[in-house]
Amino acid sequence: MSATPAAPRSLTRDDFPVVRRITTRWSDEDVYGHVNNVTYYSYFDTAVNGYLIDATGTDIRRLDAIGLVVETGCRFKRELGFPEDVEVGLAVEKLGTSSIVYEIGLFQGELPEPAAIGRFVHVYVTREDRTVTPVPDAIRAAVTPLVRG
């Protein structure tokens, strides 16, 4: 007999140690009058990499090891719209030897619950030959405060 999967836990802004603001653009909305689903993934990428640049104080594109996105996912809860900003909550679900699994919440307006919950996985590889390598020390130090206990 198969077990019923557990319902996803409810998240609020308070579940994310860091919240970053992203300005929506006119082009983010589609003909249905809401931010197009594919744009949510751009918000994930922008928030994670913007945080890493700010938190490390370096241009992460110049490190010897780079984070490649190997998995993304999103649970859409309600629509986002232009022209209101999106607040992006960041947390780390798992910090491994060579990978980081982020949990991301997209918020708009005053509601404490996210409009969407994302999963974003970086695997670190060497710049030169793209072999898996440990998460750089600067990145590890930047994301450690985001790890859920």
Residue at 40 is within a domain:
yes
Containing H/E element for 38? Answer: helix 37-56
Residue at 119 is within a domain:
yes
Positions of the chain with pLDDT under 70? 1-9
Domain count along the chain? 1
pTM for the whole thing? 0.91
Residue at 118 is within a domain:
yes
User: What is the reported pLDDT for 10?
Assistant: 87
Residue at 120 is within a domain:
yes
Q: Which residues pair with 122 in a beta bridge?
A: 69, 100
DSSP states of 68-109? EEEEEEEEE-S---SSS-EEEEEEEEEE-SSEEEEEEEEE-S
User: What is the reported pLDDT for 46?
Assistant: 97
User: What is the reported pLDDT for 2?
Assistant: 53
Residue at 5 is within a domain:
no
CA 36 → CA 4, 65, 119, 134, distances in Å? 31, 32, 18, 35
Domain of 67, in residue numbers: 14-146
On the 0-12 / 13-18 / 19+ scale of CB atoms within 10 A, 143 is buried
Contact 81, 13 (CB under 8 A): no
- CATH code (residue 102): 3.10.129.10
User: What is the reported pLDDT for 107?
Assistant: 98
Residue at 9 is within a domain:
no
Residue at 2 is within a domain:
no
Residue at 4 is within a domain:
no
User: What is the reported pLDDT for 149?
Assistant: 74
